[in-house]
Structure 1
Amino acid sequence: MNLKLILVCLFGTMVSMQAQNSAKPTLLETSGSISGKVIDKKTNQPLSYVNIVVKEVNKVVTGGITADNGTFLIKNLALKNYTVEIQFIGYKTVSKAISLTTESKIVNLNTIPLEEDAIELKGVEIVSEKSTIVQKIDRKIINVGKDLISAGATAGEIMNNIPSVSVDPQTNAISLRGNSNVRILIDGKPTNMDAAQILQQIPSASIKQIELITNPSAKYNPEGMSGIINIVLNKNSKLGFNGSLNNGVTFGKTPKVNSSFDLNYRAGKFNFYGNYGFNHGQYQNNGSINSQESNRESLMNFDMAFKNTSHLAKVGLDYYINDTNTFSFYTNQNISRSSVFGTTLMNYDDNTIDDLLQPFDSKSKNYSQTYNFDYKLAFKKAGHNLELEANYSENDSPEDALYTTQNLTTGNNNSFTNQIENLGKNTIVNLDYVNPLTETTKLELGLESRNDNTTNNFSLNNKYSSNFNYERSIYSAYVTLGKQWKKWNFQAGARLEQYNAEAIFKQAGEADGKFKDDILSLYPSTFITYNPSENNSFNLSFSRRVDRPSLSQVNPIREFSTPTLDSKGNPDLVPQFTNSYEINYTKKTKIGSITSGVFYRRIQDEITRVIYTNPENDTKQILSYSNFENNNAYGVEVSGNLDFKKWWSANISLDAYQKTVKGTIEATKGVFEFVSVDATLFNARISNTFKATKDLRFQLSAMYRGRDLGLQFVREPIWKMDFGTSYNILKGSGTISARFSDIFNTMQFAFNGERPYRANGHFKGETQTAYVGFNYRFGSGKNKAIQRKQRDKNETQGSGGLL
């Protein structure tokens, strides 16, 4: 009832403000306007996002930017004499003197051609020197600069340097604000590939920006308790032929290679672009688990070597049919091959229990493809448009593995093979409509259809063992209304979703397992922004989220097995719902900007990992999932983009999260009880950039992730320090970079557990490495900021839903 009351009051306020704004005839009678259209003098094509500056006696009065079709309109100007300057990077500035009088309140400058500036075209800079963090109404945007690119060869390594984000050093699983229930998007689209896998395959140089959407609006799918991480790949749109080349080698226990290039060609009504990334290398990981299970005390040692080769490409085009019609297409193609060879050694303290050695050799392939079509119709009114988008993706990932169990006491061997065929398909169709009802009010409507299908076949020793088919359909409609009133921005919306999921799991010799969900839900969202001054901004938001059980979480077929552990899903899981509240404050100072915030989550039926004794074999355990009791989580965050000196800048972030975890677990072998644990997690990061000369820079970064307490395990703290340097050559078109990661070799995953018996362990990956890379940028360099599709850029919110 409280939420409904808030929404009613909010909409009532909007209506009241609209009534107030509509009664201002006096202002209209005593003010004028300036309009026009800006084009490229050589191509006659419209130029979007050109700066229009209005000056009175050399003092800036107001301004604006051109729309997608090159037009601009500046209203509410006093009836005076002005100078209008048209400014755009790569072009000569044009000045126009105009006079607004009682007889001539409306001045149309008609078509204004801009001429290329040959001097400005000499330097081509595709990637900025320093990463910047921008706080918007519903997201935090990290524009990736050279400092972050040099901080890691892949997207996964970059993520460890992003505020609020953590990457598990053992599994590469990603979490946001201390929670792994986060949705990963690539160019605003979901992917069928495992997030941990694709983060290791995207070269850092192919990333344009990373968006952290902790409280998504009703416009976006509500999945992911902690929000959305959107990785936007480069799409260059400069006129002419432009691009960049990147090559790097990482030296660890074995060398690893990563290369990429970005190209685009823009002429006339067409823009062609593409990027390609290549990764190849071998990685090692080893560790141990010390188990104190009564009468079965043991030490389990793991030694694993991973080898991976991947190719990731994106190719696309934009066709600007005319000023009001745009067609776009792109495709992502990913091909990878990987292999894992390892051994598991079981040493029991009791000499009457046979020691075991289990070597395994697994080879897998992955071919994923995405095809995206988009059509956008722009109406005469600026910002008024209709957009239709269709996205199809497919992921084929077969696997072939050989396992051998060797009894070190008797000498007996037992081998078996696993053959897995896995195919996933995903289709999304969006229809979005945006209408600026007035200068201060914007309405957004949309429909979405999403269909997923996964089929899997598993053979044991070349004989059928199991298969399953999983289908999911989501049909949704959303509405958002944004309103600006003086220093306030309001936006409220709701998303209605019909969710259907059905799966059937078949196993040889067992009854079929079934899973089915049919849920109709409403997901409201509200955003309020207050800007008391240019240097201060407050933001309050609310959204309702859902985490539906994933395929791996509900699949009762055994996922993997060790001599003492089987992993499988739980088909009885139900979705967990989260009500998320957030407040942020951004302060701009002379040395940069600082953003601080607090959030609170109320979680219903939280889905959590559990481990318990196998009821059919008390010498083994089962790793699975379960719904625990309702939970609360809250936290604070502070991050800053600061320039302490001309030669020293830093990105700093601190965050702390508190959560109460409740649930029924196996406290001791065969004994279950209700347990409640209060846990606090602390994270800190700092990335310093030191500018020694115009072309020479040094980077020193460090991160710390604190102790994390769960119902059954305690994860020990993690920390590391990295050092890097970059040097510009070839008149700024080339950059040589080097990095030494994990200087003190401290990065490892370690845990301690007490339930259902005492256990502790650690895993250490190949984290101490040295990297050397070279980046070269070339092209004609004229900077033309053409429009990107709304959903591709994933920035449809703007600043409070207004123009």
Structure 2
Amino acid sequence: MKNIVLLCSFIFSITAFAQIPSNANPRTGTISGKVVDANTQNALPYVTIVVKDALNKSVTGGITDDKGTFLIKQISEGKNTVEIQFIGYKTIEKKINITRLNSKIDLGTIQLKEEASQLNEVVVVAETSTVSQKIDRKVINVGKDLTSAGTTASELLNNVQSVSVDSQTGNISLRGNENVRVLVDGKPTNIDASQLLKQIPSTSIKSVELITNPSAKYNPEGMSGIINIVLHKNSNIGFNGSVNTGLTMGENNRFNGSMDMNFRTGKVNFFANYGFNDGKRENYGVVRRSDNNSVQNFQMLDDRASHLLKVGADVYFNDKNTFSFYTTQNMTDNLFNGGTNVTFNNNLNSNSKMIVDGESDSQAYNFNYKIDFNKKGHNLEFEANFSDSESPEAANYNELVRPNDLTTNYDDKIVNERSSKLYNIDYTNPLSENSKLELGLEARYNETNNSNVTTQHEFIYDTNGELIDDGNGWYETKSKDFTSFDYNRDIYSAYINYNHKIDKIAIQLGARFEQYEVDGTFVKGAETLKYSDEIFSVYPSAFITYNPSDKNQFQLSYSRRVDRPSIGQVNPIREWSTPLITSVGNPNLKPQFTNSYEFNYTKQHNKGSFTIGTFYRRVNDNINRILNIDPLDEDKVELSFSNTESNDRYGFEVSSNYKIAKWWRTNASFDLYTQKESGLANGEQVEVTNNSLNFRLSNSFTASKNLRFQLFTMYRGGGESIQFKVDPMWMINTGASLNVLKGKGTISLRVNDIFEGMKFKFDSENPYPQSGQFNWESRTAYVGFMYRFGGGKNKAKGRKTRDKNEAQNSGGFI
């Protein structure tokens, strides 16, 4: 809180200084006029009027009223410039000359035109989605995707090209690689991405940005790139909003709802978004081992209720100073019930149950202050972001075996606390019409505190194999163990980017310099282990873009990136996963580095667009998930992580958006990846070449002005890693929407995975020959209703470019 108060004091001090006027000429003049929209001729309220003197200094100003009119008094004599500014419109300048004989000037009706789209992007608009192919990313507006209605972010992302989400673990991958960085509104979160995606309702999401080869301006984490989830934030004039609610029906029913609203008045815009998800999800599967003729049957039920709130404000002090603030509050209650039956030679050996009662509360606060200098595009931005999260768990593991065999019961009391602070400064200076310099500094501080108290109990049997109740619930306490893991990371970085345009060619060269420091302490009983590391790295990047015409774009890019071990990968506390699987982290993991090369071509035509691209990556010290024989029990396997040898990854992608007919539009993507990987698996040297083919096809049909249908098909090819072979998955979804209440309401219907093609099926020979399959509630039906109120035109103040992850001019860009 101290940091926040100091930051706010600093910001308001700068603002107060920036607004001090200076003019010695007599103030005798007045100007008046009216501002309207050039297309609709509607009056525009709250338009900023700035009066500048002959030295181009702001001396006075005002805003238009609800009728679009303005009257500004006490203007200095002499030549002045009047600027009419409104966000989303082109600024207009008017030259005036105030004299004693001409002191009252009426500018009449001033017509403002909306800003045109940037030249450095190719925008494709579809009924099903809005896809923007920008210089270094794809931006997918998922708000109109019928087959994503009523889902979570985890389910929604499975419909996004190049992205896959593992329905078992929740792990997200980009181009078949799980080493991807997930951001929300351009900011990192303290919640594990696999859990976070299950907590965000799809109705709270505005767009998804895929940044496969970020420039040096961005943090280098995420070997395969960055996925940025942008939440809704309205800034329409007046009071506006929408309400969205729906019911998903399957083996279990789930409810979702959200509310999105804003109030824009004068120089302040307040906005808020609230999303809610509640319901149960069932998951079941089987794993068979042929070496010992064992079968594990799994049955899992996840009962989850999540709340996500985003509230903030943008304050426009004047045309040069803007202050923005927002907070996100995430609250989740989760009750997980899991059961596993293990049989050997068709005889029941054990029946284990796991109950985990947990919750997660996280808060994030973001402050942003921007100063615009006189030269267009010349600015300085300050940003601070503070976040905290707590996710305590109470877990009970209960294993019953045959009478007279040792049977145990465990209780875990787990505390997970994380906090982070981020401070950064960005400076942008257009050196000329065709060149730009970007500089920045950043400091990040992350603290993680994990602790676990495990209480072991033992059941008591009589000579007949019957449980004896000793008054303590059929068991007695045998022992208690305490483990903890503190993990702190500090990262200090600076970057430089230089952009230069020569005719139709744009070049960006950059480098990021980072000092990475980590300290960890592991405590188990009387044993204490220390972990520390310091690494200084340089991350260069280069982009070359060639635009032979407005409808053609070629781009070649390079970047160096890193994937640092997560807390879950290095935490050496052994976790009981199933009766035959134990998971444990590896505190000796090293970061993995990658050199990434990409080439893309985008063609825009009258009926849509076409993009083709290819990439190559060289990965050093690859971090890989490994199954080994458990050193404490040879009948079990140990799930952990290790650094394997370097590998090569390359692929080919094609995406297209095409309007086949006035009533039919299609959006398709296809990709093929190849990955060569080698490493140790249970002490054996293994080398594999994995080929994976994926495609998505979405068709949108407009039956009438208010009625629309959608058909979505997805195929995800199988794959092979050092230890596993995975079968392909596929699904077909369909949806429909009907506008009602004069277009202010929309009724949505959808059915997902109609033929139940989504299932995880695998085979493995190492460390034991085994095969398995897991299923989940993939076939569901949904009915929802959305109502919109208000109708002001959206003239949002752009958030910081780092938040929006957008390209600037002809340079690459987090």
TM range (shorter): 0.7 to 0.9
Aligned counterparts of 1:94 and 1:217: Cα–Cα separation in 2 = 31
Which residue does 2:513 correspond to in 1? Answer: 496
Which residue does 1:693 correspond to in 2? Answer: 704
Which residue does 1:226 correspond to in 2? Answer: 224
Which residue does 2:318 correspond to in 1? Answer: 322
Q: Does 1:481 align with 2:498?
A: yes
Q: Does 1:570 align with 2:586?
A: yes
Which residue does 2:282 correspond to in 1? Answer: 284
Which residue does 1:599 correspond to in 2? Answer: 615
Percent identity of paired positions between Structure 1 and Structure 2: 52
Aligned pairs for 1:638-787 (under 5 A) are 638-666=654-682, 672-787=683-798
> Given that residues 240 and 782 in structure 1 are in contact (C-alpha distance below 8 angstroms), is that contact kept between their aligned partners in structure 2?
no
> Given that residues 442 and 801 in structure 1 are in contact (C-alpha distance below 8 angstroms), is that contact kept between their aligned partners in structure 2?
no
Q: CA, structure 1 residues 149+374, in 2 after alignment: closer, same or farther (shift >3 Å)?
A: farther
> Given that residues 304 and 342 in structure 1 are in contact (C-alpha distance below 8 angstroms), is that contact kept between their aligned partners in structure 2?
yes
> Given that residues 281 and 303 in structure 2 are in contact (C-alpha distance below 8 angstroms), is that contact kept between their aligned partners in structure 1?
yes
Q: Does 1:471 align with 2:481?
A: no
- With structure 1 as the length reference, what TM-score do the two structures score? 0.84
Q: CA, structure 1 residues 215+47, in 2 after alignment: closer, same or farther (shift >3 Å)?
A: farther
Which residue does 2:118 correspond to in 1? Answer: none
Match of 2:551, as an amino acid? N
Which residue does 2:198 correspond to in 1? Answer: 200
Match of 2:139, as an amino acid? I
Residue 492 of structure 1 and its aligned partner are, at CA, apart by: 0.8
> Given that residues 138 and 797 in structure 1 are in contact (C-alpha distance below 8 angstroms), is that contact kept between their aligned partners in structure 2?
no
- With 759-768 and 455-464 compared, the bigger mean Cα shift is at 455-464
> Given that residues 455 and 470 in structure 1 are in contact (C-alpha distance below 8 angstroms), is that contact kept between their aligned partners in structure 2?
yes
> Given that residues 585 and 597 in structure 1 are in contact (C-alpha distance below 8 angstroms), is that contact kept between their aligned partners in structure 2?
yes
Aligned counterparts of 2:91 and 2:215: Cα–Cα separation in 1 = 40
Match of 1:570, as an amino acid? N
Aligned pairs for 1:341-360 (under 5 A) are 341-349=337-345, 355-360=349-354
Match of 2:266, as an amino acid? G
Q: CA, structure 1 residues 97+552, in 2 after alignment: closer, same or farther (shift >3 Å)?
A: closer
Aligned pairs for 1:311-390 (under 5 A) are 311-349=307-345, 355-390=349-384
> Given that residues 131 and 142 in structure 1 are in contact (C-alpha distance below 8 angstroms), is that contact kept between their aligned partners in structure 2?
yes
> Given that residues 290 and 769 in structure 2 are in contact (C-alpha distance below 8 angstroms), is that contact kept between their aligned partners in structure 1?
yes
Residue 364 of structure 1 and its aligned partner are, at CA, apart by: 0.2
Which residue does 1:430 correspond to in 2? Answer: 424
Match of 2:129, as an amino acid? S
Q: Secondary structure at the match of 2:568?
A: helix
Q: Secondary structure at the match of 1:732?
A: coil
Q: CA, structure 1 residues 47+610, in 2 after alignment: closer, same or farther (shift >3 Å)?
A: farther
Match of 2:519, as an amino acid? E
- With 787-796 and 357-366 compared, the bigger mean Cα shift is at 787-796
Residue 418 of structure 1 and its aligned partner are, at CA, apart by: 0.7
Match of 2:493, as an amino acid? S
Q: Secondary structure at the match of 1:512?
A: strand
Q: Secondary structure at the match of 2:159?
A: coil
Which residue does 2:438 correspond to in 1? Answer: 444
Alpha-carbon RMSD:
2.8
> Given that residues 662 and 711 in structure 1 are in contact (C-alpha distance below 8 angstroms), is that contact kept between their aligned partners in structure 2?
yes
Q: CA, structure 1 residues 754+374, in 2 after alignment: closer, same or farther (shift >3 Å)?
A: same
Aligned counterparts of 1:279 and 1:379: Cα–Cα separation in 2 = 44
Aligned counterparts of 1:164 and 1:479: Cα–Cα separation in 2 = 30
Which residue does 2:136 correspond to in 1? Answer: 138
Q: CA, structure 1 residues 44+277, in 2 after alignment: closer, same or farther (shift >3 Å)?
A: closer
Deviations 1:465-507 (A, max 9, x none): 2011110000000000111111111111000000001101111
> Given that residues 458 and 466 in structure 1 are in contact (C-alpha distance below 8 angstroms), is that contact kept between their aligned partners in structure 2?
yes
Aligned counterparts of 2:574 and 2:809: Cα–Cα separation in 1 = 46
Match of 1:424, as an amino acid? R
Residue 242 of structure 1 and its aligned partner are, at CA, apart by: 0.7
Residue 350 of structure 1 and its aligned partner are, at CA, apart by: 7.8
- With 514-523 and 128-137 compared, the bigger mean Cα shift is at 128-137
- With 577-586 and 608-617 compared, the bigger mean Cα shift is at 608-617
- With 403-412 and 217-226 compared, the bigger mean Cα shift is at 403-412
Q: CA, structure 1 residues 801+306, in 2 after alignment: closer, same or farther (shift >3 Å)?
A: closer
- With 785-794 and 643-652 compared, the bigger mean Cα shift is at 785-794
Match of 2:795, as an amino acid? K
**Which among 626, 629, 633 is matched to residue 649 of structure 2?**
633
Aligned counterparts of 1:88 and 1:735: Cα–Cα separation in 2 = 31
Which residue does 1:529 correspond to in 2? Answer: 545
**Which among 45, 48, 68 is matched to residue 47 of structure 2?**
45
- With 744-753 and 595-604 compared, the bigger mean Cα shift is at 744-753
Aligned counterparts of 1:356 and 1:47: Cα–Cα separation in 2 = 77
Residue 317 of structure 1 and its aligned partner are, at CA, apart by: 0.3
Aligned counterparts of 1:735 and 1:785: Cα–Cα separation in 2 = 24
Q: CA, structure 1 residues 87+696, in 2 after alignment: closer, same or farther (shift >3 Å)?
A: farther
Q: Structure 1: state its 5+ residue gaps.
A: 1-35, 49-68, 71-85, 99-108, 118-126, 667-671
Aligned counterparts of 2:108 and 2:198: Cα–Cα separation in 1 = 49
Aligned counterparts of 2:150 and 2:611: Cα–Cα separation in 1 = 25
**Which among 554, 563, 566 is matched to residue 547 of structure 1?**
563
Match of 1:516, as an amino acid? S
Residue 39 of structure 1 and its aligned partner are, at CA, apart by: 8.6
Q: Secondary structure at the match of 1:731?
A: coil
> Given that residues 400 and 417 in structure 1 are in contact (C-alpha distance below 8 angstroms), is that contact kept between their aligned partners in structure 2?
yes
> Given that residues 244 and 787 in structure 2 are in contact (C-alpha distance below 8 angstroms), is that contact kept between their aligned partners in structure 1?
yes
Aligned counterparts of 1:39 and 1:491: Cα–Cα separation in 2 = 39
Match of 1:274, as an amino acid? A
Aligned counterparts of 2:108 and 2:410: Cα–Cα separation in 1 = 74
Aligned counterparts of 1:526 and 1:285: Cα–Cα separation in 2 = 45
Aligned counterparts of 1:692 and 1:236: Cα–Cα separation in 2 = 30
Q: Secondary structure at the match of 1:156?
A: helix
Q: Secondary structure at the match of 2:681?
A: strand
**Which among 298, 306, 322 is matched to residue 294 of structure 2?**
298
Aligned length: 702
Match of 1:561, as an amino acid? S
Which residue does 1:59 correspond to in 2? Answer: none
Deviations 1:753-776 (A, max 9, x none): 111221000110011100001111
**Which among 272, 275, 284 is matched to residue 274 of structure 1?**
272
> Given that residues 483 and 801 in structure 1 are in contact (C-alpha distance below 8 angstroms), is that contact kept between their aligned partners in structure 2?
no
